[in-house]
Every structure is written in C-alpha cells, then in structure tokens.
Structure 1
Amino acid sequence: MADSFQSKLPIKPDQILEIIIRRRWFIIIPLCITLTLGLFITFTMDKTYEASTLILVQPQRVPSDYIKSVVTSSISQRISTISQQILSRSNLEKIIHQFGLFEDAKNMYLEDKIASMRERVLVKIERARHGTEAFSIVFRGSDPQRVMGIANTLAGYFMDENLKFREAQAVGTSDFLDAELQKTRKRLEIREKILADYRTKYLGGLPDELETNLRTLDRLQDQLTSKQELLRNTSDSLNILETQIAQSKEMASQNFDNQFSSFDFDEEAFKGTENEQKYSLAKEQYNTLLLKYTEKHPDVAKLKKIIEKLEKTIEEETLEGNPEGETEFSEQGVDDKNQGIGIPDFAAIQQEAQVKQIKNEIRKIQSDIFKIEQQMEIYQKRVEDTPKRELELQSLQRDYANIQNVFNSLLDRRLEAELSVNMEKKQKGEQFRIIDHARLPEKPISPNVKLLFLLSLASGFGLGGGGIYLLEMFNTSIRREEQIEKNLGLTILAIIPHLKKKGHQVKAKVEMVAFVCFTIYATAFLSFFVILNSKGLDRTIYFIKSNLNF
C-alpha cells in the first residue's frame, strides 16, 4: 500500500533537499573516500611526460616550373617510410644505449624494450593553413630530461633520413633512367642500322624516288625511241652502201680477171726475166686484194703462191750471180701490165672504210639500245616494287619513330633527373625544417589530475546518490501528511511533534561537528585537486617539499 502511496505523489524540490539533508552522510562519506583514493592514486601513479617537436615540410626553393622533383611520393607516404626506418630495431637499440633507458629493468628482454619504445613514439601529421603540411614527433617517458633529448634526436633522425631518402630516390631514378636510356640507345642504333642498310640495299627504288624514277623511265624511253630510229636509218644506209660495194666488186672482179689472165705467170717464164719487177708488181697487187678479201680468197691465195715462187727465183739468181737476163715480156708489156694491175682502187677502199664505220656505229647503237633496255628494266622494276618498298619502309620507320620517341622522352627525363639530383645534393629541394624544438616538459600527461578529480567527484556523488535513491525506493513508511489525506481520505486533526530523547542535543552537536570535519576534509581535498590541476603535479610537490622541508 505504501508503494502505491509513493507512486501517486510527485517529489517536490523541498522534499529532495530534505532527503539530501537527512541522508547527508551517504554523500559526504563516499565523496571523502573517493577523493582520498583519487589523490592517493595521483601521488602514487607513475608519472609520464611528453615532449614533441613540430617539423614543417618546406617546399623546394627552386620553382617547379624550372626543375621538377623526381620525388613524387606524398608527405604521408614518406613519413610512414621514414618512420619505419627510424623505429627499426637497430636504431631504437642505439637510442636505448645512448640515453641509458630501462636501466632499472635489467631483467627486461630487449624485444620488450624495443616494443615499449615503439609504443612511446608517435608521429602525427598536421595540416596548417594554406595547405602547408607539418608533422610532429611525440615521445613519452618518465624522465623529462630524457624525453626532451629523445624527441630532439628523433627529429634529427627524421631530417637526416629525409635528405638521404630524397637523394637516394633521385639518384636511383637517375640511374634507372640512364640504364634504360642506354638500352634504348642500343635499340635505336640497331634500328638506324637496319633502316640505313635497307635504304642502301634498295637505293633508287625508295618511295621518295618514285617521281625521279618515272621521269628517268620517260627519258630512257625517249632515248630508246631515238636510238631505234637512228638504228633504222643507219641500217638503211649500210644496206645502200653494201649494195653499191657489191656492184663495184662485181665490176672490179671482171676487170681483174681480164688483167690477171693476160698476165702470164708461168713457171718457165721466170727464167731470164726481170723477176724483181714481177715481184714488186705482184706484191702491190697482193696488198690491194687484201683490202677487199681475206687471205682465204682464191685469187689472194693464188697470188700469194706466185709471190713465194718469185722470192725463190730471185734468191737463186742472186746466189748464181747471173747477169740481168732477158725476159719474155718487153718493157712495153711490163709497163702495160703495171698500168693495168698496179693502180689501186681508191673508191672501193673508201667504201669499205665507210662500211666498217657504219657497222661500228650500228654495233654502238645496238649496244646503247641494249644498255637503255637494261636500265629501263631496272627502273621499271623499281617502279613496280615501289608500293612494296613503301610498306616495308613505313614499318621500319614506324618502329624507328616509336623507339626514337621513347629515347627522346627518356633523355628529357634523365636530364630532369640529373637536375633534381643536383638540387637534392645542394639541399634546394623539399626539406624538413624544425619549427618548435622539444622543450623540457614540466607537467606530466599521466596521471591526469583533472580526469582523476572528475572521476573522484563523479564516483563519490554517484555512490552517495545511488545509495540514497535505493534507500528511498525501498522505504515504505509514511513520511508526509499529504499521503494520509489524499490516499487514505482522512482529515488530520492534530500533529504530534517529534519527541526528543535524552541527550539529543549532544548527539546533534557531535554529529554536526563530525559533518563539518568531513566537509572540511572533502573541501580540502577538492581544493588540493584544483591546485594540482592548475599548478601542476611537479610544482605542487616541489612547493610542498620546499615549504614543509620534506
């Protein structure tokens, strides 16, 4: 029934105040306990200090329009890479030995020390105004002096590693481009040689010489036509001249036969005649016949035998020493024969010379025609093969152009990489610049006095309030007049005041004094927490030690 009474009546602010006053011990005692525990934890907990170094990423000093840096990785990627190098086992082990860390933990394994060091180092990337990038290196530890030194040392490592990283990347890029450039140069030289050999092999039949070949072919055709026309005219002239010579030969042969037959070369007539004159006449006639015929001609062969006999006869007469004998032919007869046989035919000789000259001209013209036809075949084949050569040459030139474009691109990039390497070596590229060096930390970040203070208050009031709430919820007694009038429907006629027992005043005074003491205790601890939070734990402890001579 009481639960129903309490649920129907709302709680007023004065009633809450009355409950708090009545249950004040449930608030002050837990608060004092939690404040005491919080202060105890604050003083007994290991102190942790934090030192940070702010580093600005300074852009390269040379404008990027003039020299482009080959280091294209983002700041976060580079910081992540450098962080892995800085937090390597060997580097952290060197820092541990340098600053004498973990001297009190001699039984601690080296792996645990390195893991603890990695947990204490924190790299935070910060982005300032206008897109400027910066990052901070934070280190936490129990000794403020060491914390400051390690933070500055790590910052120096970051700056050195960044310079090494950028220079190594620039040099690596330059070396890679140089190696690729050498390979591409060899490929380009091979293609150049193939293209040059192809041009040399098919010189005169290349596509750009097609117009020249066509004009040359037309010119050769005109020359061929002219030579053929000249050959026809010369052949006609030769035929006419040969016809004239044949007629002349026929007439001369008839006269020669008559003269030759009248001239008796009997063997018996050789005796006692003027053989020298006969020999001279026969020799002249022999030479004349050689101009017309060959040595195999019957007349020439016959006359040659007579000349041989005359030579033998003259030799015999010379050996015998006979005087000049008489001859069967009279001087008049010899003179007549000399006049008939010894006079050369100059017209026939001139005609024969003309025939030889014309034949030579014909042979020369025929040779020229043959050469022209050969040249025309060569140029005709060149013209016919021009489409094929054009396709082959286009393929070779396309491969050469592609390799040349790659070579030119690599050459430009190699030059840029060399400039970038020089820029990095002279430290004109992007650099890390320390804006704020790590300072000696005065206020520890752990324990967090403010957080412990708030937790102590919250836990004290929470425990007290929760206890009061539970007591009031499970209390079923009637404590107010309204509960009787509204719930029971009874009218209150009189109220009997609370009867005070003997010694009530003394008890109340003792209780008041105890409450005041607890209140002062809680207030002192609250004030002490406020001082610790504002002044700092180290300063407060130092002040207490210096003033109280601890």
Structure 2
Amino acid sequence: MLGNFDIKYAWAVFKRRMPYFLVITTLFAAVATTIAYVLPPVYQSSASLLVEPQQISDTTVAAPVNPYEQIQIIEQRLMTRANLYDMAGRIGLYADQPDLSAGEIIGDMKTRIEFIGFQPDPTTKPGEPGATIIGVNFFAPTPPLATKGANELVSIILQENTRMRTDRASDTLDFFKGEVTRLTGEIETQSKKIADFKTANIQALPDSQDSRRAQQERGQQRLLDLDREEASLKSQRASIVWVFERTGRASANMALSPEEEELQTLQSQLLQQQAIYKSTSPQIRVLQTRIAALKQLVEQQQADRAVPSADGTAGKPLSELDVELAPLDQRLGDIAAERGLLEKQLADLDTAQQATPQNEMVLNDLERQLQSLQTQYTNAVSSLGQAQQGEKIEVMSKGQRFTLIEAPFDRNVPVSPQRVLISAAGLVGGLGAALGFVVLWEMLNRSIRRPVELSQRLGIQPIITIPYIRTAGERRWRRWAVVGAMLLIIVAIPVILLMIHTYYEPLDQLIPGLG
C-alpha cells in the first residue's frame, strides 16, 4: 500500500511502470485501429415518400384506407422471409457469396432495411399541421447496391400502397353489395312471413280487436232483444192456448168466413126455436137442414185449408188454434235459429279475442325483426354509397396515397464504421486500462522502496540509503525491449486480425454488433 501521497514519488513510480503503460495502451489502440480499418464500409441510400392528402373533401366522402395502417402493414409484409429472400435476389447483394444459406441471407437483410416511419414536416413549426413524410433507408457494401436496394423498397411500398387502396376499396364495395342483397332477401322473406301470419290469423289480429269487441256488444244486445221477443211470443202463445181451452176459439176477435157467421146465426135461431117449438116442428126441421148443409160447406172450406202430409195426401185440417199459433211458432223457430247463429258468432269472436294477445306478441316480434332488417338495410345502402364513392376515389387516384418526393441516390461517403471514433475509443480505453493496471499493481506491491517505508515496517532509522543504479547497457536493453514490444504489437496485432478477417471469418460476423 502506498504511504502518504507524494507527487514526486508517484511520478517516479509511474515512470518506472511507463513501459507497461505504453504496451497496454498500444495494444488497445492497435486492436481498435485495426478493427476500424478492417471492417467493410457500409453505404446508405435513403428515400422519402409523402403521404398526399385526399384530393376530394373528406366531408363529402372518406377514402376507406388509412395510410398510417398501410405503412405498418406494408412493413410487416415486406419483412417476411419470402419477400426478403426475393428482394436480395433482385438486388444481387449476395451474388459473390453463393455459400450463404437462406437463413443467413434473410437475417442479414433485416439488418440492412430501416423504416423511419412518419416524420413531421420540417418546414413547419412544432404544433402546426404539415405534410406527413415516410423515410426508408437501405444499407449495402457499395453505393450502387445501396441505391438499388432503396429503389426496390420504394417500388414495393408504392405498389403495395396502390394495391391495398384499390383492393380494400373493392373488398369494401363487394361486402356492402352482398349485405344489401342479403338484407333485401331477408326483408322479403320477413314480409312474406308477416303477410302469411296475418292471412292465417285474419280473424284474430290486434288491429281489428276494437271492431270485434263492437260486434260482440251488438251480438249480445241482439241476444237480449231475441230473449225479450221470445218471452213475449211465448206469453202470447200461452194466452191464446188458455183462451182456446176455455172458449173453444183461439181468439174472440178471430175473423170468420160468411158461411161460418151464417152457421152461427142459424145455430142461435135453432136454439131459440127449440125453446118455442117441438123438435118435429117444420121450422125446426128447416133450420136443422140448413145448419147441416152449412156445416158440410164449412168443413169443405176447412179441408181446403189443410196442410198436406209428408206422403202428399191431404193432412189434418188446421184448427183455429193452429191457424192462430202458426205465425207465433214460425217466429219462435226463427228466433231459435238466429240465436244459434249469434251464439256461434259470439263464440268465434271470443276465441279470436283470446288468441289476439298471443298473435299480437308474435306479430310484434315479426315486425321488430322486419324493422331491424330495414334499419340494417338503410345503413347498408348508405355504406354502399360511401363504398362506391371510395372505390371511385381510389380508382381515380384522388384519395390519400404515397408519392416519392426524394429518390434514392449514390452516396460515396460510408455511414459506418466510424473509424476515427473507433480508434479514439480504443486509445481512450487503452489509456484507462493501462492506468488501472499500474494503479492496481502498485496497490498490490508490498516491497520496500523508500527510507520512510523502512522505518515504518522495521522500526529502525537508516543512516543513508543507496538506490539501485542501472548500467547503461541495462537501460538500453530496457528501452529496446519496450520499443520491440510496442513494434510487435503494432505489427502483429493488425496482421493477426487481418488474417482472421480474411481467411477465417469476417470480424463483423465473428463479433455480432461490431459493424
């Protein structure tokens, strides 16, 4: 360990270790310089593409393709193995290296392509809108190859941009055409379902529910009227029967034929004459004869009014009661028939009314589906119109597109390696390593080299100290050894690295990331 720090002593120690310092520094500098000048030059060729805005106002119709998505998709497609391998073949970058495998070629190609992406317009101030620029770089061992590679990149980007814009616009148009056709068919099918349902349930639809309810009310009122009329007719019939049973006549006011009136008159006279005369009296006999003749005539008239029987023969003559009750019975029969018809109609209406809520639910569901389809159809038609305009924009090249504004050109100055920087880094690294080596050596050196160290370690005070004095020959030998070592390093290290680079494997491939 060094004692109290002494600048003169430290400088003396440093001068003693100077040969090691110089050798280490020279070694690092030689290696760095050799590597810097052995590495092959890399040339860069760049191109700039402008994203042109849509030439038709986007408030009218928007182009269907986003340029920011396009460049990302194009980059991913370009960096696929097949595209990189084909591109390398077109450029001829590895024509002098036929032994390279496809994997090595693809891996190297990925390191040579650089997408700068979207850059702001350099002519505008920060925060102000400006043009959007895309930059691409290609790196190659010669300027012509770099330019050729950059041109390939530009061609692929422009071709893919055109293809993507037109294809996506066409695909969008085809999709919405299919949607409109599909929705048209579904709307027709749904409309037919609704029409068939209404036809099958025409008597139980919700829109005619009020009409059916009114019919029910009218039918029920008519039933009440028929019941009242029937009750009245039955009461009237019972009265007629009651009168007939007690008087022998269906009605006191019943109209009689002239013969019947004359017969009643003669019968009354006969009763009066019998009270005066004997039964053998000529007056009595005359009245009886006339009464008998009139009875035959009345009976003949009643026979003419008789209803024929089922076999066509003359039926039983209608009595006064039958004649009086016939219209009543006919009307009662009509009432019964009408009541049956009304009851059937009311039953049908009641069944329809009970089925109406379920039919309404089904019909509403069908109509909601139809409305949903019509909404989708309206949106699809609107989108189809926009897609047609978008396709027209892309076909006419009026939408957003990429345009080459700065073509690739040959640059005769390589962008790498940075030879001066590498050499300077090697020199600085050598100085640091050499200084660290000297400091570490002295920290680990336990030998006694000063009188003060002798006193501190042995506890004695020396009278005088005599340093070791080298002879002139020893000094010359030491100087030549240092110079020889430095010359050996300066010559041997570059030669060794050059031989490795030339005959074994290039240093930029042997040490990844060195280039």
- What is aligned with 1:18? 12
**Does 2:229 correspond to 1:215?**
no
Pick aligned residue for 1:431 from 401, 404, 407:
401
> Do 2:2 and 2:442's aligned partners in 1 also have CA atoms closer than 8 Å?
no
> Do 1:34 and 1:460's aligned partners in 2 also have CA atoms closer than 8 Å?
yes
> Would the alpha carbon gap of residues 134 and 359 (structure 1) be closer, same or farther in structure 2, given more than 3 Å must change?
farther
- What is aligned with 1:390? 360
Secondary structure of the residue that 2:139 maps to in structure 1? strand
**Does 2:109 correspond to 1:117?**
yes
**Correspondences of 1:54-65 after superposition (within 5 Å):** 54-55=48-49
> Would the alpha carbon gap of residues 368 and 74 (structure 1) be closer, same or farther in structure 2, given more than 3 Å must change?
farther
Instruction: Find the aligned partners of 2:289 and 2:202 in 1 and give their Cα distance.
Output: 69
**Correspondences of 1:136-535 after superposition (within 5 Å):** 136-226=135-225, 243=251, 248=256, 252=260, 292-293=305-306, 371-434=341-404, 436-462=406-432, 464-466=434-436, 468-469=438-439, 472=442, 477-484=447-454, 486-487=456-457
- What is aligned with 1:44? 38
Pick aligned residue for 2:73 from 66, 75, 81:
81
Deviations 1:130-167 (A, max 9, x none): 69976543321111122123213212312321332243
Structure 1 counterpart of 2:36, one-letter code: T
Aligned pair count reads: 434
> Do 2:28 and 2:426's aligned partners in 1 also have CA atoms closer than 8 Å?
yes
Instruction: Find the aligned partners of 2:171 and 2:412 in 1 and give their Cα distance.
Output: 45
> Do 1:51 and 1:140's aligned partners in 2 also have CA atoms closer than 8 Å?
yes
> Would the alpha carbon gap of residues 290 and 484 (structure 1) be closer, same or farther in structure 2, given more than 3 Å must change?
same
Structure 1 counterpart of 2:160, one-letter code: E
- Give me the TM-score of the superposition, normalised by structure 2: 0.64
Shift of 1:214: 1.7
Q: Which structure is larger by alpha-carbon Rg, 1 or 2? A: 1
Instruction: Find the aligned partners of 1:447 and 1:408 in 2 and give their Cα distance.
Output: 63
> Do 2:53 and 2:400's aligned partners in 1 also have CA atoms closer than 8 Å?
yes
**Does 2:103 correspond to 1:104?**
no
> Would the alpha carbon gap of residues 227 and 259 (structure 1) be closer, same or farther in structure 2, given more than 3 Å must change?
farther
> Would the alpha carbon gap of residues 394 and 247 (structure 1) be closer, same or farther in structure 2, given more than 3 Å must change?
same
Shift of 1:198: 1.6
> Would the alpha carbon gap of residues 466 and 187 (structure 1) be closer, same or farther in structure 2, given more than 3 Å must change?
same
Structure 2 counterpart of 1:193, one-letter code: K
Deviations 1:251-280 (A, max 9, x none): 5498599889769xxxxxxxxxxxxxxxxx
- In percent, how many aligned pairs have the same letter? 20
> Would the alpha carbon gap of residues 154 and 134 (structure 1) be closer, same or farther in structure 2, given more than 3 Å must change?
same
Instruction: Find the aligned partners of 1:85 and 1:445 in 2 and give their Cα distance.
Output: 27
Shift of 1:444: 1.9
Instruction: Find the aligned partners of 1:475 and 1:232 in 2 and give their Cα distance.
Output: 145
Secondary structure of the residue that 1:248 maps to in structure 2? coil
> Do 2:49 and 2:403's aligned partners in 1 also have CA atoms closer than 8 Å?
yes
> Would the alpha carbon gap of residues 471 and 289 (structure 1) be closer, same or farther in structure 2, given more than 3 Å must change?
closer
Structure 1 counterpart of 2:11, one-letter code: L
Instruction: Find the aligned partners of 2:250 and 2:178 in 1 and give their Cα distance.
Output: 82
Structure 2 counterpart of 1:458, one-letter code: V
Secondary structure of the residue that 1:50 maps to in structure 2? strand
Instruction: Find the aligned partners of 2:291 and 2:368 in 1 and give their Cα distance.
Output: 87
Segments of 5+ residues of structure 2 without an aligned counterpart are 121-125, 241-248, 265-287, 315-319, 491-515
Instruction: Find the aligned partners of 2:290 and 2:358 in 1 and give their Cα distance.
Output: 75
Structure 2 counterpart of 1:172, one-letter code: D
Shift of 1:486: 5.0
Instruction: Find the aligned partners of 2:470 and 2:343 in 1 and give their Cα distance.
Output: 154
Deviations 1:491-530 (A, max 9, x none): 676677987867999x69x99xx89x99xx9xxxxxxxxx
> Would the alpha carbon gap of residues 295 and 224 (structure 1) be closer, same or farther in structure 2, given more than 3 Å must change?
closer
Shift of 1:24: 3.4
Instruction: Find the aligned partners of 1:19 and 1:179 in 2 and give their Cα distance.
Output: 91
> Do 2:25 and 2:430's aligned partners in 1 also have CA atoms closer than 8 Å?
yes
> Would the alpha carbon gap of residues 442 and 185 (structure 1) be closer, same or farther in structure 2, given more than 3 Å must change?
same
> Do 1:126 and 1:135's aligned partners in 2 also have CA atoms closer than 8 Å?
yes
- What is aligned with 2:508? none
Deviations 1:366-405 (A, max 9, x none): 7665554444333333223323323333443344444445
Deviates more, 1:23-32 or 1:200-209: 23-32
Shift of 1:175: 2.8
Structure 1 counterpart of 2:367, one-letter code: Q
Q: State the superposition RMSD in angstroms.
A: 5.1
Deviates more, 1:493-502 or 1:382-391: 493-502
> Would the alpha carbon gap of residues 495 and 445 (structure 1) be closer, same or farther in structure 2, given more than 3 Å must change?
same
> Would the alpha carbon gap of residues 170 and 490 (structure 1) be closer, same or farther in structure 2, given more than 3 Å must change?
same
> Would the alpha carbon gap of residues 47 and 358 (structure 1) be closer, same or farther in structure 2, given more than 3 Å must change?
same
> Do 2:172 and 2:387's aligned partners in 1 also have CA atoms closer than 8 Å?
yes
Shift of 1:472: 3.8
Deviates more, 1:432-441 or 1:153-162: 432-441
> Do 1:26 and 1:465's aligned partners in 2 also have CA atoms closer than 8 Å?
no
Shift of 1:112: 4.5
> Do 2:49 and 2:406's aligned partners in 1 also have CA atoms closer than 8 Å?
yes
Deviations 1:97-141 (A, max 9, x none): 543332322444556444533442233445656699765433211
Deviations 1:396-420 (A, max 9, x none): 3344444445444544444444444
Instruction: Find the aligned partners of 2:465 and 2:104 in 1 and give their Cα distance.
Output: 75
